[in-house]
Structure 1
Amino acid sequence: MSRVVMAAALTASLLVAVPASGTAADTDYTLAIDPTAKGATIDDTMYGVFFEDINRAADGGLHAELVQNRSFEYSTADNAAYTPLTGWAPTGGTLDVVDDGARMNERNRNYLRLGLPAGVINSGYNSGLAVEKGKRYDFSAWARSDQPAGTPVHVGLTDPAGKDLAPPVEVRVKGDGWTKYTGTFAARESSTTGRLLLDAGGTGTLRLDMVSLFPQDTFKGHGLRKDLAEKIAALDPGFVRFPGGCLVNTGSHRGYEAPDFERRRSFQWKDTIGPVEQRATNWNFWGYNQSYGLGYYEYFQFSEDVGAMPLPVVPALVTGCGQNRATDDPELLRRHIQDTLDLIEFANGPADSTWGRKRAEMGHPEPFGLTHVAVGNEENLADEFFSRFTRFRAAIEARYPDITVVGNSGPDDTGANFDRLWQLNRDAGVDLVDEHYYNSPSWFLENNDRYDSYDRNGPKVFLGEYASQDNRYSNALAEAAFMTGLERNADVVKLASYAPLLSNEDYVQWRPDMIWFNNHASWGSTSYEVQKLFMTNVGDHVVKSTASGTPWSPEPITGAIGLSSWATSVAYDDVKVTSADGRELFADDFSVDGGSWTGNGAGNWGVVDGRFVQSDTAATNPLMTAGDPTWSDFTFSVKATKLSGSEGFLIPFAVNGTGNPFWWNLGGWNNTRSAVDGGNSSRVFHADDTRIETGRTYDLRVEVRDRTVRLFVDGRLWASFTDEANKNPEPFRQVVTRDEATGELIVKVVNAQSNAARTKIDLGRGAWVVPTARATVLEGLPDDVNTEFTQPVKARQTQVRVSSSFTHTFPPNSVTFLRIKDRRR
């Protein structure tokens, strides 16, 4: 079992308590601010964006190309549903896709061969090509004809019925050498279901490749889809991390010069620069083909266009993202290290250097100003990765000592691999360590103080990927609460980026996502609204502030009972639950059919020889529950026997559907460690090296009294603890920063509950402020989701009366930023 906490397998934690009816009550808080107490400096690059080609974020997304599979390189080797004509359909004649000596170049091998007369039509992405009335679109294609007089080609932009959306373009292909042909459409109608038609007349053979339709109106004229790029630019990102992510270091690691043009190789930046018709295509880790029309030059250019620091990620030759393989070819490692040095020269080298010249030839003679390079992404093989990372780092620092080389801590927020990687990074004096985690909303609320205890003298944190696991407003509220902790610890957390950035609604490999789109529209999620609010109101340094917590009346631990396992066959018997005064609440000796138990559909449960047996050794948490979720002050006993498999017993208790149960995990982590964790604090209360023997029957007993738990194994006390955590995670979070340019305090308050937060705010003696403050507020219901057609969660501006001491009521389920200006500035 990779992690102790498995509450998500049972039930979602109760994040926000919604009143049954009527107006939400007020909860009283205090917020004391000391404007004279300067805290951590916040770098201009604190918040950024992470772009990965996932969810069709590039082709069919940010890359403005409208034609899908423009070079006929799709293959079943990339996706079982693909053919070289995916996205295309014949309209007559004979055609086939071939790879022979007449190909365009070694990297663009496939082309379309038409026996004339013949035609073909492309439907783009989503439901078709989106075109807008009055806009202009540039057509291009590479072609060759074996006819001395040439071949006429009628190019149309039509709707599905064949009606022209723009006056057609007529070209004549002359000569049997590859030549680029161009034309422009002026759309006279709008459509989201457009088609690009190529209809060739005459006789003989026509060859086509790199068929393109591109809007003239792109972001700053640099080939990116305007609405998507503008939404990213509106975030005012301090950095752009690219191109991934899992697609960076997965694949075979074959060279881009491989004679068989091996697919499924790691992302290699040299494949992605130069003329687009000479760029490679590649299999994408997320299950589709990527054209590299959006390549490293475009990433650098986009970073520059939005005023952000570029932060590329290069493969470390150790696969991550669950693949867990290391490549031990020393020559391949040497070449990848050299490729990374060449990348830095491409970004920063003078225009007369080898790779700087290639950048200049693409239109950017001045350097891009690269300062950071990340090596690797989410590796689980800590020592194997770090030995290679060390080689990269030494080579980079020897030639480019001003470049910061970023390490990472794997794919999780905790665990043995995480601890080992942090130790290796710390011992080696690495400057910046990339952390990634995708967790529940309750985790983000509970971990506001995660970085409070980090070593101020150790490596700094780059939170390169994080998000809570949905796109509802409750998720965004939890993320906002967590971000106040990031800012409070800006001396430790130097960079942070929500992930993923983009998702095409018809090609979803991962959710949640910050910005959603189809072929004609885009919209920001509720998390986008939170990110935008934080990213555009950062401030220059933290100001000391202290807030009261949410009043809480402790309630006893309550809940039903459960039985489970992890990759292990187990047998349970003689289950009994009694009250504190000895009354029997529940009993099952499995002399009948186990009908008192309810399952989650996993595993293979049945009564065998008077025991309740789970026989599937591949099942992970095949949970069965029984009893009353209101039980309190109870004793739960069970006899447990391991039959086979890799671990031991998993005993949940206090199962009530309003929060995390407790999990008693005996023989976890491949039977090397045991622990008890959970409850609404999601803490580990006790852990040791207890192991479980196969075939031996254990008497297990759980005693719950109020909020104190005692656990017994064969009559011996194994652990005792009192859970003093809040019943629900703290919903009221805040941080205060100062904008030196405007002289404003930025008071940032997250109220992630359905009660209003009436707050007395004290700016301290001597504060002299302008009596009206500008407020930016996000409000909504916890289940609100922004869509193409409705965005219930959007920032609104208002004015608030303020003074050195004033009371303000923060609405239920809200994020509020108050910009309070010093009257002396």
Structure 2
Amino acid sequence: MSAPRAITTLALAALVTLPLCAAPAAAEAAPDYTITADPAAKGAAIDDTMYGIFFEDINFAADGGIYAELVRNRSFEFLPVDNRDYHGLTAWSPAATGGGKGTLKTVNGDARLNERNRTYLELGLANPAGGAYGVTNSGYNTGIALQEGKSYDFSVWARSDASGGTPLTISLHSEAGAALAQPVTLQVQGDTWTKYTGTFTATATTDAARLSVLGAGSGTVRLDMVSLFPRDTFKGRANGLRKDLAEKVAALNPGFVRFPGGCIVNVNSHYGYDASSNWERARSYQWKDTVGPVETRATNANFWGYNQSYGLGYFEYFQFAEDVGAMPLPVVPALLTGCGQNRATEDEALLQRHIQDTLDLIEFANGPVTSTWGKLRADMGHPEPFGLTHIGVGNEENLPTEYARNFVKFRDAIKAKHPDIVVISNSGPDDQGFVFDEHWKNNRANDVDMVDEHYYNSPAWFLQNNARYDSYDRNGPKVFLGEYASLDNKLFNGLAEAAFMTGLERNADVVKMASYAPLLANVDHVQWRPDMIWFDNDQSWGSASYEVQKLMMNNVGDRVVPTRASGKVAKPKPITGAVGLSTWATSAKYDDVKVTGTDGATLFADDFNDGNDEGWTNLAGRGAWSAADGTYTQSDVGAENTLVRGPVLNAENYDISLKATKTAGREGFLIGFGVKDSDNYYWWNLGGWNNTRSVVEKASGGAKETLFAKEGHSIETGRTYDVKIEVRGGKVKLFLDGQLWGEFADDAVTEPFAQVVTKDEATGDLIVKVVNAQDTPAVTKVDLGAVRVKNKAQMTVISGDPLAHNTRSAQPVEPVTSTIRGIAPTFTRTFAPNSVTVIRIATK
């Protein structure tokens, strides 16, 4: 599959690697780019924690993912509060053998296992002789994954009111009933909760097994925490992690593990704050819910629309970080909703409780075994401290003032008892805009240690912003880039991210940590794209971004070698294309659409008085668009992400004017410009996000990024607005009802060539990293200065079709490593089209 591509990569990579003095014909041509290093200058030190991972339970990343439990809804706690389609028997179905009969129901009653594990299964058995009745679990995805010859540990908590007890038969079988292991038999005795265990050895390999638990005899038997774990977990841990996924994470060589989120850290905006022990209501992620024996832990409604069991809890997160040699970095809620919501608690007592919970968390991680929470850590099997040094407070809050107020209270309380702990603030959900600026102003004013920035943008943005951190204040708060990704999983996305990472490394005195996000995605349960590692219930594969991240993260170096780069200069591209009209969960009508050049000439006009929509194309194929009564109307209130386009225009300087009226629905309306197709356009989204904000977004290859935003801006129903957009090359002014509403520029240059040189202090190696994110080779002169180097070096290249992406059935994006010769203090190399290259050069 990959051999022909590998040969091509090596052939391209080997085109030129010669000292300049050799001067063959190919080396005489002027290089496209030059990299000049200054090894005598002392560049920034790069911390061991420069790159790490961010774990959030999104895309079924925990249950059904890296948490190795094979039984879905093991404690019958699924509820409509998690997902409207859920109920206590989700993933379970009735089962019987030998004419077995009975009843089953989930119960939240006085006989519960404990106060946090409240719901259990009650089987009313009425079996004839030889019969058995119970339930079957279907696992995740296609079923339960088994490997022939491997061991699987079963456990269940049970109680029976039958005088002689209740025999249980537990079996692993195919959906059709064929046995896949020797059954386990147990005898449940007594009407008090007791844990019963057994072990299976799989007799076949499958990804579609079922687990059945059947009771014989009569009477009532209650079951809870029905569990099946592979014996072969990562590092052999009990209650451990799925081995193949954890190993892929470990292969990244992460310097830190940020957990447990993400948006799930914030208070669940749908259900509010819950300071009580009412476990039937969703609440924010609270670490104390997730520690201690797994049968005593709560479950909770996940922000992303499903149930999270907390089997993977804070102890397991700390343990995993230790197992992969990474620094733990927990994030606690700041008592604001965040993640697109705008609400903060006014309950001071609740805030103080969360601050105390955070102090208790530090004690759990670092305290002596004689302390309350240090003893719990020891009781769970880890008497030694975990060595916590960093902690984050909050995630992507949209209320800078309220967040700063809460953050300072957390920070001051933590510093009073633990002055060496680095307390991390944040800057909201975007890379720019009012919220971002206000957060940073507050962070500087409050002298915070570090600021967590998040952004998800197009590949073009990353190629345009390689120098983003060049201008940051060297004496201000440090940066933790806690979440970033370019919005797709193709090779070109990985290249854009690699190019950006060279800028992060060159600014390692400001950017102290960075992590791609999200980390994991179950292919059958995806809430967010892109993602680094994909999986189903028995396979896993790294995306193109995973392969690039792994290459960069395993070749960081300890210190930056200052460099200068020169070469071909790209030019900014003007905003050209058609005018567009759109709605999102709203009906709206448009009139008097006109596009004029700066000379006053009409380039396009439509007043819809003729009752037809000729000249308009429904790019999205959604919505009910019709021209009638002198307007162009989209009447389907339920239609989302609609888009119609006028005729294609090539003008670089033009004005768009029109009238727009929202007629019904929950949002406003959207005006497109520079529209090329359904994946490439700009639009002014007036009254988006449930009519709470208005933004300008740019779509590139289907991925959208925000260019300008106003919070709290809404659109009135029934009011006609005069809209005007002035485009001058890459500069845009926006007018609403004759008043300047905003302006922005999208004229940054997309730079396809990026580089950084670092030094490995332990080996003396110089590490040259070059990204060539264009369709042509990049002939490059590399001048390492006055250093003595060995003639040969190790080179690893990832290259190929920029649209290539890895899937379950094929992984065309992979690294190719070779030994190259002809290395000298100054040499010329041709870097392959659409490639990231790492050359490790040994010094003498």
Q: TM-score, normalised by structure 1?
A: 0.87
Aligned to 2:236: 221
**Equivalent position to 2:42, from 23, 35, 38:** 38
Contact 2:275 2:350 (C-alpha < 8 Å) held by counterparts = no
Instruction: Say whether 1:789 aligns with 2:809.
Output: yes
Shift of 1:787: 1.6
Distance 1:576 1:760 in 2: 48
Instruction: Say whether 1:815 aligns with 2:833.
Output: no
Aligned to 1:15: none
After TM superposition, list the pairs within 5 Å mapping 1:114-513 onto structure 2.
114-116=123-125, 117=127, 118-222=133-237, 223-251=240-268, 252=271, 254-255=273-274, 257-258=276-277, 260-513=278-531
Distance of aligned partners of 1:84 and 1:664 in 2 relative to their CA distance in 1, 3 Å threshold: closer
Distance of aligned partners of 1:115 and 1:643 in 2 relative to their CA distance in 1, 3 Å threshold: closer
Deviations 1:530-582 (A, max 9, x none): 111111111111111122243447887654445679989675427354696x8
Distance of aligned partners of 1:359 and 1:625 in 2 relative to their CA distance in 1, 3 Å threshold: same
Distance of aligned partners of 1:789 and 1:691 in 2 relative to their CA distance in 1, 3 Å threshold: closer
Contact 2:619 2:677 (C-alpha < 8 Å) held by counterparts = no
Shift of 1:621: 8.6
Distance of aligned partners of 1:453 and 1:568 in 2 relative to their CA distance in 1, 3 Å threshold: farther
2:259 aligned partner, one-letter code? F
Shift of 1:236: 0.9
Aligned to 2:22: none
2:616 aligned partner, one-letter code? W
Distance 1:99 1:360 in 2: 32
Distance 1:80 1:677 in 2: 32
Distance 2:474 2:111 in 1: 61
After TM superposition, list the pairs within 5 Å mapping 1:44-83 onto structure 2.
44-83=48-87
Contact 1:556 1:632 (C-alpha < 8 Å) held by counterparts = no
Contact 2:533 2:543 (C-alpha < 8 Å) held by counterparts = yes
Aligned to 2:18: none
Shift of 1:598: 2.9
SS in 2 for 1:389: helix
SS in 1 for 2:552: helix
Shift of 1:627: 3.1
Shift of 1:691: 14
Deviations 1:153-195 (A, max 9, x none): 1221222222222222121111221111111112222121111
1:240 aligned partner, one-letter code? V
SS in 1 for 2:462: helix
SS in 2 for 1:205: strand
1:71 aligned partner, one-letter code? S
Distance of aligned partners of 1:465 and 1:558 in 2 relative to their CA distance in 1, 3 Å threshold: closer
* Number of equivalent positions: 793
Distance of aligned partners of 1:406 and 1:709 in 2 relative to their CA distance in 1, 3 Å threshold: closer
Aligned to 2:782: 761
Shift of 1:283: 1.1
Contact 1:134 1:187 (C-alpha < 8 Å) held by counterparts = yes
Distance of aligned partners of 1:320 and 1:555 in 2 relative to their CA distance in 1, 3 Å threshold: closer
After TM superposition, list the pairs within 5 Å mapping 1:517-556 onto structure 2.
517-552=535-570
Contact 2:124 2:218 (C-alpha < 8 Å) held by counterparts = yes
Shift of 1:588: 3.9
Distance 1:409 1:253 in 2: 23
Distance of aligned partners of 1:545 and 1:159 in 2 relative to their CA distance in 1, 3 Å threshold: same
SS in 2 for 1:38: coil
Contact 2:146 2:209 (C-alpha < 8 Å) held by counterparts = yes
Shift of 1:76: 2.0
Shift of 1:697: 9.1
| Greater mean deviation of Cα atoms: 706-715 or 57-66 | 706-715
1:143 aligned partner, one-letter code? A
Distance of aligned partners of 1:99 and 1:640 in 2 relative to their CA distance in 1, 3 Å threshold: closer
| Greater mean deviation of Cα atoms: 567-576 or 237-246 | 567-576
| Greater mean deviation of Cα atoms: 321-330 or 417-426 | 321-330
The gaps in structure 2 that reach 5 residues or longer are: 1-11, 16-25, 128-132
| Greater mean deviation of Cα atoms: 547-556 or 181-190 | 547-556
Distance 2:331 2:738 in 1: 54
Contact 1:573 1:612 (C-alpha < 8 Å) held by counterparts = no
Contact 1:569 1:616 (C-alpha < 8 Å) held by counterparts = no
Distance 2:92 2:743 in 1: 66
Aligned to 1:113: 122
Shift of 1:113: 1.6
Distance 1:485 1:290 in 2: 37
Contact 2:591 2:606 (C-alpha < 8 Å) held by counterparts = no
Distance 1:591 1:656 in 2: 26
2:363 aligned partner, one-letter code? E
Distance of aligned partners of 1:463 and 1:576 in 2 relative to their CA distance in 1, 3 Å threshold: closer
Distance of aligned partners of 1:583 and 1:305 in 2 relative to their CA distance in 1, 3 Å threshold: closer
Distance 1:604 1:368 in 2: 58
SS in 1 for 2:77: coil
Distance 2:287 2:832 in 1: 48
Distance 2:715 2:80 in 1: 47
Deviations 1:719-742 (A, max 9, x none): 99998654xx11111111111111
Distance 1:36 1:192 in 2: 57
SS in 2 for 1:528: helix
Q: CA RMSD of the aligned region, Å?
A: 3.9
Shift of 1:270: 0.8
SS in 2 for 1:37: coil
1:274 aligned partner, one-letter code? G
Contact 2:522 2:536 (C-alpha < 8 Å) held by counterparts = yes
The gaps in structure 1 that reach 5 residues or longer are: 1-21
Distance 2:163 2:646 in 1: 83
Deviations 1:774-804 (A, max 9, x none): 0011112112111222111111111222111
Aligned to 2:19: none
SS in 1 for 2:789: coil
Shift of 1:620: 9.3
Distance 2:582 2:146 in 1: 55
Q: Percent identity among equivalent residues?
A: 60
Contact 1:409 1:421 (C-alpha < 8 Å) held by counterparts = yes
Distance 1:722 1:70 in 2: 53
Deviations 1:70-100 (A, max 9, x none): 1111112222211211121111322222122
Distance 2:808 2:748 in 1: 40
Distance of aligned partners of 1:745 and 1:193 in 2 relative to their CA distance in 1, 3 Å threshold: same
Distance of aligned partners of 1:329 and 1:256 in 2 relative to their CA distance in 1, 3 Å threshold: closer
Aligned to 1:778: 798
Distance 1:299 1:152 in 2: 37
Aligned to 2:105: 96
Distance 1:405 1:53 in 2: 23
Contact 1:732 1:752 (C-alpha < 8 Å) held by counterparts = yes
1:373 aligned partner, one-letter code? I
1:788 aligned partner, one-letter code? R
Shift of 1:396: 0.8
